Chains A and B, each alone.
Chain A
Amino acid sequence: MTIATIGAFCIGEFPEAVAVMLFYQIGEVLQDYAVDKSKESIKSLLNIKPDYANVKRNNEIIKVNPEEVSVGENIIVKPGERIPLDGIVIEGNSMLDTSALTGESVPRTAKIEDKVLSGCINQNGLLVIKVTKEFKESTVNKMLELVQNASEKKAKTEKFITKFAKIYTPVVVLVAVILAVVPTLIWGNFTQWLYRALSFLVVSCPCALVISIPLGFFGGIGKCAKSGVLIKGGNYLEALSKTNTLVFDKTGTLTEGVFEVQSVNPINISKEELLKLVAHAESYSNHPISNSIKKAYAKEINNSIISNIQELAGFGIEATIEGKNILVGNEKLMLQKNIKFVKSTEVGTVLYVAINKEYAGTILISDKIKDNTKQALKSLKEHYITKTVMLTGDKKEIAENIARELEIDEVYSELLPDEKVKKIEELLKQKESNKSLAFVGDGINDSPALAVSDIGIAMGKLGQDAAIEAADVVIMTDELSKIETAIKIAKKTKLIVKENIIFSIAVKIAILILTAFGISNMWQAVFADVGVSLLAVINVALGTFLKATKCRIGDVS
């Protein structure tokens, strides 16, 4: 562009030279504005960074940088202040505004022993919080890091255009030089051929593509952020637009993950004693099943009687409680440990318990399908998804029961975490090459599956750090309907990018042909370059920024 405008000046075509540079600058300003808007949307997700922490040291309250607070220290959060670090409430109760993290406008209650996350705003009561994570490891910092890295991962189209521009520009300059020199040597009239060469140079400038494509993806990421969906890069947004297979984890994703103990069936032991031993064995686990047992036990856990806790992924837990060896888990655990047991016929999650290798009974726990799941899946299948699959470590009967209710196409049950990964690999081989498979999960055991699929979508329960880190897309709330929102935005973004590519190239080719025949002049060339760039930027702005408000929570149906 610089060569073209200086050349135009040299041959006395001042208006054209200024017009090219001027309209190009207008395009750039519009682009900057659009990028700023998008950054604002992403930053609104990030408007969660706490500036200070009130830490209690030597009976004094000191205002310090959150990074200077250590694990185990007590911090005080006054009404209206942002919680600076993750922790557990040890004094006071209050309502927390979690909207900056989850997009959820209804405040949550925080009382003693509740886990609270950094970034939330304390609305009314004074809270004393025992810090459980350093700032570096806190939810707020992890979210900031994820978002800041989002724009660095480029989509395939974006990468192609960057590479294309690098090769294309020198080639075009060379062709322009040839166009100015060779015909002059044959037919003379250098000024006329230089004018045509300069027009050619202006038309061929790939500004429209180089500016509008990254801007399109960036806009899409920003729009998703506004709707409470964090996309970790343009490449994932592009993959999301091609998604036609959704694979779900069951617990915590399709179901509430809030289990309740339905019945305790002891053998040669009292109900209370069985529940006590199991609650102590499960005391270190945060799995929803463990939480339901602790809730049913409803007494304080005595840590001094617990030792040798071992989590057996996909099987259960082994621990020593009051000197007794306790095994709590599924049928597989009993079979693996050669314990004779009576198979339960009850529908639900059955925990088998063995004390000192002797079968001691079962505990029946059941889960509930999330309220919005059925509607969200139905809508996804109507609009974007051709196949839904459920993978679960749970029993076949429970899995099939839930799948039937949710009209899920394929169910694979009783899977260990590594078997889930193998199943996803199989499904990846079966899918069409130009389509994507997304896995939706939430637990730590879902991390490998999230990593191996084309796109890993984590239900951001904001606490399951491993899942959030392994995922490519994080739904900040627990709403499955947000997946549809994200796919919708991804498809719209892809459409805008395609429109810009086709429109820019078509106009440029047309004007190039006209220029070669001497039919068009520099003004048409200016339109083909900066005019098209401007229109492409406006197209992105119209598609992603101006309509952004329409895609807020709950608006996509």
Chain B
Amino acid sequence: MKRDIIKIIIALILFVISLTISFNPAWINTVMYVISYIIVRIRNCNKSH
């Protein structure tokens, strides 16, 4: 449970940063979204397995 919460907090921080700050170049935002997505998606996959 603790590990899950940490993962979600990291994903949430990345998500909020990329949502509020427009980086230049813009692909940094995209990468942050992708990393955030992967973090939570992996948790979901692990859980369903």
Contact = CB atoms under 8 A, between A and B. Distances in A.
Partners in one complex: yes
A137 interface: no
A17 B36 CA distance: 10
A328 to B, nearest CB: 61
Given A18-B36, A21-B37, A29 B1 contact: yes
A15 B36 CA distance: 10
Contact of B15 (A9, A22, A29, A33): A22
Interface in B31-48: 33-34, 36-37, 40-41, 43-44, 47
Contact of A9 (B4, B19, B37): B37
A5 B1 contact: no
B21 interface: no
A5 B44 CA distance: 13
Contacts of B43: 25
A32 B4 contact: yes
B33 A25 contact: no
B40 A25 contact: yes
Contacts of A24: 40, 44
B29 A14 contact: yes
Nearest to A17: B37
Interface in A28-47: 28-29, 32-33, 36
A25 B44 contact: yes
B41 A14 contact: no
Given A22-B8, A25-B8, A26-B8, A15 B1 contact: no
Most chain A beta carbons < 10 A, residue from B29, B37, B41: B37
Given A15-B19, A19-B15, A29 B33 contact: no
Nearest to B37: A18
A531 B44 CA distance: 17
Contact of A22 (B1, B12, B34): B12
B5 to A, nearest CB: 6
- Contact-size category for A: 10 to 19
A26 to B, nearest CB: 6
A252 B30 CA distance: 70
B16 to A, nearest CB: 10
B4 to A, nearest CB: 6
Q: Is the interface of A mostly helix, strand, loop or mixed?
A: helix
Given A21-B41, A22-B36, A25-B43, A15 B4 contact: no
A28 B12 CA distance: 15
Contacts of B44: 21, 24-25, 28
A19 B18 CA distance: 12
B19 A5 contact: no
A24 B8 CA distance: 10
B8 A29 contact: yes
Interface in B1-21: 1, 4-5, 8, 11-12, 15, 18-19
Contacts of B5: 29
Most chain B beta carbons < 10 A, residue from A17, A19, A21: A21
Contacts of B1: 29, 32-33, 36
A36 B1 CA distance: 10
Most chain B beta carbons < 10 A, residue from A18, A25, A36: A18
B23 to A, nearest CB: 13
B22 to A, nearest CB: 12
Contacts of B11: 18, 22, 25
Contacts of B19: 15
Contacts of B18: 14-15
Contact of B40 (A9, A14, A21, A36): A21
Contacts of B47: 28
Given A21-B44, A25-B40, A15 B8 contact: no
Nearest to B47: A28
Contacts of B12: 22, 26
B43 to A, nearest CB: 6
Nearest to B1: A32
A82 B35 CA distance: 51
B34 A14 contact: yes
A25 B40 CA distance: 7
A22 B15 CA distance: 9
Nearest to A19: B15
A22 B19 CA distance: 13
B39 to A, nearest CB: 9
* The 3 nearest A-B residue pairs measured at CB: A14-B33, A25-B40, A21-B40
21 contacts: A5-B41, A9-B34, A9-B37, A14-B29, A14-B30, A17-B33, A17-B37, A18-B37, A18-B40, A19-B15, A21-B37, A21-B41, A21-B44, A22-B11, A22-B12, A22-B36, A24-B40, A25-B11, A26-B8, A26-B12, A33-B1
Interface of B: 1, 4-5, 8, 11-12, 15, 18-19, 29-30, 33-34, 36-37, 40-41, 43-44, 47
Interface of A: 5, 9, 14-15, 17-19, 21-22, 24-26, 28-29, 32-33, 36
Given A5-B37, A32-B4, 13 more contacts: A14-B30, A14-B33, A14-B34, A14-B37, A15-B19, A18-B11, A22-B8, A22-B12, A25-B8, A26-B8, A26-B12, A28-B47, A29-B1
